[in-house]
């Protein structure tokens, strides 16, 4: 008999603190918003391609062995995240309270800044793992910070010309054309206008 996730979730008390729907061959996980006290969610070993918004009090998330290509925003109270064996290319910003991150066997080309409280990180078999190395979490945090700084600099330089063009076309040029259009003069010049003062402010 096929497992009906919706029926199962509806049968649970809204005050429940843990939910385990692992190994159910799921392709979809229904909304969890009514579980305000949920602390642990285990939806591992399924065929999920996405997750619903996560309850704000969630502390532990186990979603490994799925087909996830992205994760929803992570709750601020999350302390453990196991998302290995998926198709993740990036991770959302990591909560400051996160202490354990297990994300090996994905397609991660970068990692967000690592929280100070993070004590354990396992990210081998990702493109990013070819760049960062070592078991010292302090060293890895510094490596990630340096990489992210370089990425920021690279994209700032790469898109500098486009940003300047966008700034001109979308913001500065329309304002200049409006100010120096003849209609502006017609609207703002009157017989009693002090022409010298007007020109000083206009130019």
Q: What is the pLDDT of residues 81-122, one digit of tens each?
A: 999 999 999 999 999 999 999 999 999 998 999 999 999 999
pLDDT at 167: 57
196 and 131 housed in the same domain: no
pLDDT at 49: 97
pLDDT at 147: 73
pLDDT at 68: 98
pTM of the model: 0.73
105 and 192 housed in the same domain: no
- Strands (E) located in the chain: 18-20, 40-42, 60-62, 80-82, 100-102, 120-122
Q: How confident is the model at residue 157 (pLDDT cuts 50, 70, 90)?
A: low
Contact predicate 62/41, CB 8 Å? yes
122 and 172 housed in the same domain: no
60 and 43 housed in the same domain: yes
The average pLDDT across 149-169 equals 59
178 and 117 housed in the same domain: no
pLDDT tens readout for residues 7-17: 999 999 999 99
Range of the domain at 187: 160-202
């Amino acid at each position: 008999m096929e497992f009906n996730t919706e029926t199962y979730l509806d049968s649970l008390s809204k005050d429940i603190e843990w939910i385990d729907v692992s190994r159910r061959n799921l392709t979809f996980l229904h909304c969890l918003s009514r579980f305000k006290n949920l602390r642990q969610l285990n939806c591992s070993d399924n065929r999920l391609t996405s997750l619903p918004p996560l309850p704000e009090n969630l502390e532990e998330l186990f979603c490994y062995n799925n087909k996830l290509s992205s994760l929803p925003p992570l709750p601020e109270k999350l302390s453990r995240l196991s998302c290995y064996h998926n198709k993740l290319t990036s991770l959302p910003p990591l909560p400051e309270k996160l202490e354990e991150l297990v994300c090996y066997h994905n397609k991660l080309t970068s990692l967000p800044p690592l929280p100070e409280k993070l004590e354990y990180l396992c990210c081998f078999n990702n493109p990013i793992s070819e760049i960062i190395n070592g078991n010292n979490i302090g060293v890895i945090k510094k490596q990630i910070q340096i990489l992210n700084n370089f990425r920021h600099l690279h994209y700032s330089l790469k898109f500098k010309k486009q940003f300047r063009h966008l700034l001109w076309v979308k913001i500065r040029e329309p304002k200049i054309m409006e100010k120096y259009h003849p209609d502006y003069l017609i609207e703002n010049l009157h017989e009693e206008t002090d022409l010298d003062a007007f020109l000083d402010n206009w130019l």
